[in-house]
Amino acid sequence: MTVIFVNRYFYPDHSATSQLVSDLAFHLAARGYRVRVVTSRQRYDAPDARLMAREEVRRVDVQRVWTFRFGRASLPGRALDYLSFYLSAGWQILRVARPGDVVVAKTDPPLISIVAGWAACWRGAKLVNWLQDLFPEVAAALGIGLAWGLTGRALVALRNGSLRRAVLNVAIGEGMRTRLLAEGVDDQRVRVIHNWCDDAHIRPLPAASNPLRRAWGLADCFVVGYSGNLGRAHEIDTLLTAAERLAQEAGIVFLFIGGGAALERLRSEAEARGLANLCFKPYQPYERLPESLSVPDVHLVILRPELEGLIVPSKFYGIAAAGRPTIHAGAMDGEIPRLLLDAEAGLAVAQGDGEGLALAILRLRDDAALRERMGRNARLLCEAQFSRPAALERWVAALSTAVKS
């Protein structure tokens, strides 16, 4: 039996889905499983990269298929990248899958489970869906026209067919599990396994001993951080209102590390409003994550309420590992707010409540004991629920169940 992962990115790429698939693939290979990965030759931040078409990495057979290389700059180009991966990956699964193999389809690109499910069924293999989001519902919530009407309903029907065909569907949150059950997926074929981070690598680093904080000139500031992609799923008006409200508060800096579709709009709006309390830095290499995630005194996580149950912001796990409190802006009853409030690891404000966000920031700035306690609780939460070793072993158990079904 071979476990075949299908995802557009894999090691040495460091994007979120790549890191998760790479962690699990390498772990299974080390446990003695035969593991193959069907992926692209691209990197998330370098679509013109030309990784090797085939290689063995840490006992994992990596097979990189041909795709277009338009990247993330435009939706039409991205759609062509997706289409070419569907065709190439589907053909590769047909070539390599054997009866009894397990095909694990992630959700990059969206709806790859449909192609992977058909190919696995044709070859007598078993399908496991690893759901990072629910598409086309995400696209519909973001106002993308293709996801509405007859086309949207057809895509949902095809997607749901792949969910029901699978021997197992792994959701990354309880809200997503609820959504799957509402779509008629058998409860026995749904399991929640949260995403994780490398909690052995990312550890709390005191601000005073953080070289990156000093290098960026933030040693004497109270830093409110946002790390990762700032995209269409994230609303920025609440953030801008809070930044305006705190513009005259000496020493408070909003630090943005990363990129995304909404970042340029944020820059433009900040400039138009004369806000000098925003600072922008590029994505940091994996080796510097313990430093970059420890630069902020408090982190922001933002998610549009209409996307609850469709997405779980994976950046939260790294924040928790770094021992920093989180302020979540979005639905008050969402997945992350529930975790934060239950563990006393942060605060939550509603989307649109910029004044409330500003007050939450001031509360944590002015109460060092509360801030430190919430940071400790965040780290404990990470170790208890989102540690990498525990999550990987949950996956081993889930795949063992899938093989027997």
pLDDT digits (tens, 9 = 90+) for 165-190: 999 999 999 999 999 999 999 999 99
Predicted pLDDT of residue 221: 97
Torsion of CA 265, 267, 273, 279, to 10 degrees: 150
pLDDT digits (tens, 9 = 90+) for 379-397: 999 999 999 999 999 999 9
Token pair listed for 196: 């994780």
Which fold would CATH assign to domain 207-385? Rossmann fold (3.40.50)
Rounded-to-integer distance, Cα 337 and Cα 28, Å: 32
Torsion of CA 318, 323, 324, 325, to 10 degrees: 100
Predicted pLDDT of residue 131: 98
Residue 165: burial class (beta carbons within 10 Å; 0-12, 13-18, 19+): middle
What percent of the chain clears pLDDT 70, i.e. is strictly above it?
100
pLDDT digits (tens, 9 = 90+) for 295-308: 999 999 999 999 99
Domain locations in the chain as residue ranges: 2-196+387-404, 207-385
Rounded-to-integer distance, Cα 18 and Cα 12, Å: 8
Instruction: List, in sequence order, every beta strand (DSSP E) within 331-382.
Output: 346-350
Rounded-to-integer distance, Cα 132 and Cα 267, Å: 28
State the average pLDDT over residues 247-273: 94
Q: Which of 248, 226, 246, 269 is nearest to 361 (CA)?
A: 246
Token pair listed for 78: 């991205």
Predicted pLDDT of residue 72: 74
Predicted pLDDT of residue 70: 85
Rounded-to-integer distance, Cα 333 and Cα 352, Å: 15
Per-residue pLDDT at 45 exceeds 80: no
Whole-structure pTM value: 0.92
67 vs 78 pLDDT, higher one: 67
* Domain 2-196+387-404, CATH: 3.40.50.2000
Rounded-to-integer distance, Cα 160 and Cα 293, Å: 37
Lateral strand order in the sheet of 102-105: 54-57, 60-65, 34-40, 2-6, 102-105, 126-131, 168-171, 190-192
pLDDT band at 353 (very low <50, low <70, confident <90, very high): very high
Residue 326 pairs with which residues in a beta bridge?
299, 346
Alpha helix positions (H), 183-288: 211-215, 237-245, 263-272
Token pair listed for 131: 């759901």
Largest CA distance in the chain: 65
Per-residue pLDDT at 16 exceeds 80: yes
The conformation of residue 298, written as its DSSP 8-state character, comes to E
pLDDT band at 276 (very low <50, low <70, confident <90, very high): very high
Token pair listed for 122: 């044709």
Rounded-to-integer distance, Cα 379 and Cα 388, Å: 13
Per-residue pLDDT at 26 exceeds 80: yes
Predicted pLDDT of residue 101: 97
pLDDT digits (tens, 9 = 90+) for 141-165: 988 877 788 899 999 999 999 999 9
Length of the chain in terms of residues written = 405
